[in-house]
Amino acid sequence: MRAGADGGGCFPTGRHYPGIAHLVKLAVRGLASEFDSETRVRDLPLVSIDTETTGRDSSVDRIVEIACVIWSQGEVQARHSWLINPERPIPMEAKAVHGIGDEDVRDKPVFAGVALEIARVLRGSLPLAYNADFDKGFLQAEFARAGVRIEELPPAMRHDVHWVDPLDWARELHKAEKSKSLGDVCERLGIDIGQAHRATDDAEAAAKVMGIFLGDSRVPQTYAAFIQRNPICISLPKQTSKTLWTI
């Protein structure tokens, strides 16, 4: 639903409506409490995450590689990656995608062995991933299995925090194009993806895609408005006829 499309007066923030900005902030679900809702997305510290796995089902399959690329102010600040021993054979169909075989991870740590290290890298940044539900599902499933004690959960590990997902915007901004895959979107945008289907290269490419998309006038710029990518109008108290967006 577009703001004002039906005359109802929906809007993404309370900036131009004095006295209701606090109500808008309360209405938005999925925000990480560490960040102000009116901060520009490009000013937020982002961690672009990519996982390579033994399959597609996070309840039974396991991570074999994970990368976390720290992105701020349109530039890569740091790259972190881990090869992970999944404690099971890597199927040939999975290896055909990412090229990681049993011999590559035989002497690598299991996820629980590096879980705290990964959590430290994730802390203080808003998570981003291309097709985020996939990576979010695997990351959180692995942490649950690891059973490690983490005093302060980073945003990426909290179920109520919405991840930034460039695929959401590719579906809108490139809707005339048949493919919305990361590789094809990168090709259209002139981004060199490097070695596709390896975690670090895919994570960095996803961050670069989002950086370009943020330069499009159709993409909301502030954190709260950006997260409201599928707005639903809800009623305000009776003393005003205005409405709010929520997700």
Any idea which residues carry the catalytic annotation? Answer: 197
Q: In what order do the strands lie in the sheet with 46-53?
A: 75-83, 63-72, 46-53, 126-128
How is residue 163 annotated by DSSP? P
Both tokens of 46, joined, read: 């982002």
Question: Exposure string (b/e) for 190-224, b if CB count within 10 Å is 16 or more?
Answer: ebebeeebbbbbbbbbbbbbbbbbbeeeebbbbbb
Cα separation values, 92 from 54, 87, 95, 108, 109, Å: 9, 15, 5, 19, 21
Residue type for 57, please?
D
In angstroms, how far is CA 66 from the centroid of its own chain? 14
3-class secondary structure, 92: helix
- Region of 19 (left: φ > 0; alpha: ψ -120 to 50; beta: rest) is left
- In angstroms, the CA 13 to CA 37 distance is 9
- State in Å, rounded, how far the first CA of the chain is from the last one: 12
Residue 49 dihedral angles phi and psi, to the nearest 5°? -115, 135
